[in-house]
Amino acid sequence: MRNDIISFERGCNMKDVNMDAIGGRVRACRKTMNLTLVQMSKSVDVSANYISMIERGEKNPSDKVLHKIAGLADVSYWWLKTGQEDSPVKPQEPSSSLNAIPASIDVPLFLALAIQSIPGMTKEKLAAKLDISPENMEEVLFGSEHAVSSDWTDYFPVLARQMDLPAVCQKIHDLDLFLQNEIREKERKCRLDFLKRYAGPEYQYLEFDPNDSDHIILKRTREDGSPQSLPWHFFFCLGHCSDESMVENIMGNIICSCYNDSAVLIFDDETTRNLFAEEYDQRKAQADTLAGTPYGHGGSLPSISLLLINRETWEQIGNEIELDDFDGFV
């Protein structure tokens, strides 16, 4: 049990704190931690009025609430309930099927959140609760797997109930949004850097939709830095696709987007690249057939080439395929 609670009990001269009653001991815990009624109530998931009624002796707290307060104040549940320091039988914390801990939980992250979110919690206090040294706690928080014990998860629900969970979830949500945006920005930068290396210094003028980084247009720049015409279209077709109807739709949209301009399609999956090449070849054959009839004309397809890249290094793999001269894969 915390020594400062004992000191509070021995040295307290406050008339409204009766250490022989549960309410007095709860009040002693709250005062020792310098918490308001509202702060403690949020930490144990009850109303401030409920805590106030406990302290005044107007309400007997449930065992579940007492366990939460004991965990928050770092005192013995048995002492908080009875005023006695030693329990003849080790009390069991309330169990619930809702307390099952996912195997995928990030233990260092969860414990860091507990330290940050639980009023009065420190690394030293948490280490004591987990029965490890402060040095081992440092190792755990920095991601050392060998320092993590599977037994700790039994205590995680107790820690979670002491947090302001809506506030913690909101912080995690905001962080997730920030990180997802950073992922998109990193991907966008990798794409632009790759295109500038591929196209050369004379093609540095970029046009793109911020909401569609799969289609980027480069234009040749004049000596004064202004853009010339003749746009060069780049389409990032990343990921695996084996749906021929989807490939057909995408190729149709690409052809409509660049019409008679030049286009480069960039892939990181060889099978997908080959499907696009075959789809273009079929369209070219159809265009050539229509060119000899009164109902069609040839030369309507843009000049398209295909690139295969390593997504991790953003380096080109193999040779570029010019679809105008494509005769199928060997």
- Residue 232 pLDDT: 85
Instruction: Tell me, yes or no, whether 46 lies in a domain.
Output: yes
Contacts 24+ apart (CB under 8 A), 208-217: 213/184, 213/187, 213/188, 214/238, 215/257, 216/191, 216/192
Residues 75 and 159 in one domain: no
Handedness of CA 205, 207, 210, 216 (dihedral sign): negative
Instruction: Tell me, yes or no, whether 176 lies in a domain.
Output: no
Tokens of 146: 């060998």
Q: What is the DSSP letter of 298?
A: S
- 62: pLDDT strictly greater than 50: yes
Who's near 188: CB < 8 A, 6+ residues apart? 213
Number of domains in the chain: 3
pLDDT tens, 215-261? 888 877 666 656 565 678 899 999 888 888 888 888 888 888 877 78
Residues 73 and 117 in one domain: no
Element (H, E) at 219: strand 212-220
Query: Cβ distance 218 to 199 under 8 Å?
Result: yes
**Residue given tokens 């749906």 in the structure block:** 243
Write the single-letter amino acid at 270.
E
Look over the chain and give the mean of its residue pLDDT values, rounded to a whole number: 79
- Range from 66-80, 91-105, 138-152, 227-241 carrying the lowest mean pLDDT: 91-105
Instruction: Tell me, yes or no, whether 94 lies in a domain.
Output: no
Residues 195 and 315 in one domain: yes
**Distance between CA 81 and CA 97 in Å, rounded?**
25
Q: What is the DSSP string of 80-127?
A: HHHS-SS-SSPPPPP--GGGPPPTT--HHHHHHHHHHHSTT--HHHHH
Residues 202 and 129 in one domain: no
- Cα angle value 92/93/97 (rounded, 5°): 115
Residues 138 and 252 in one domain: no
User: Which of 25, 52, 82 delimits the end of a domain?
Assistant: 82
Instruction: Tell me, yes or no, whether 93 lies in a domain.
Output: no
Write the single-letter amino acid at 204.
Q
Residues 208 and 317 in one domain: yes
pLDDT above 70 coverage of the chain, percent: 77
Handedness of CA 152, 156, 157, 161 (dihedral sign): positive
- 76: pLDDT strictly greater than 90: no
Tokens of 267: 């892939």
**Residue given tokens 């860091």 in the structure block:** 112
Tokens of 28: 């002693």
**Distance between CA 136 and CA 237 in Å, rounded?**
47
- Residue 86 pLDDT: 53
Query: Cβ distance 303 to 289 under 8 Å?
Result: no
β pairing state of 303-310 and 262-267: parallel
**Distance between CA 114 and CA 120 in Å, rounded?**
10
* Cα dist from 146 to 136, 139, 140, whole Å: 10, 9, 8
Q: What is the DSSP letter of 221?
A: B
- 278: pLDDT strictly greater than 70: yes
- Range from 88-102, 133-147, 152-166, 207-221 carrying the lowest mean pLDDT: 88-102
pLDDT tens, 151-160? 777 788 888 8
**Distance between CA 29 and CA 70 in Å, rounded?**
9
Residues 278 and 194 in one domain: yes
- Range of the structural domain that residue 145 is part of: 102-163
Of the spans 86-95, 128-137, 286-295, 306-315, which averages the highest pLDDT?
A: 306-315
Mean pLDDT of 63-91: 75
**Claim: this prediction has a pTM higher than 0.75:** no
Write the single-letter amino acid at 325.
D
Residues 118 and 197 in one domain: no
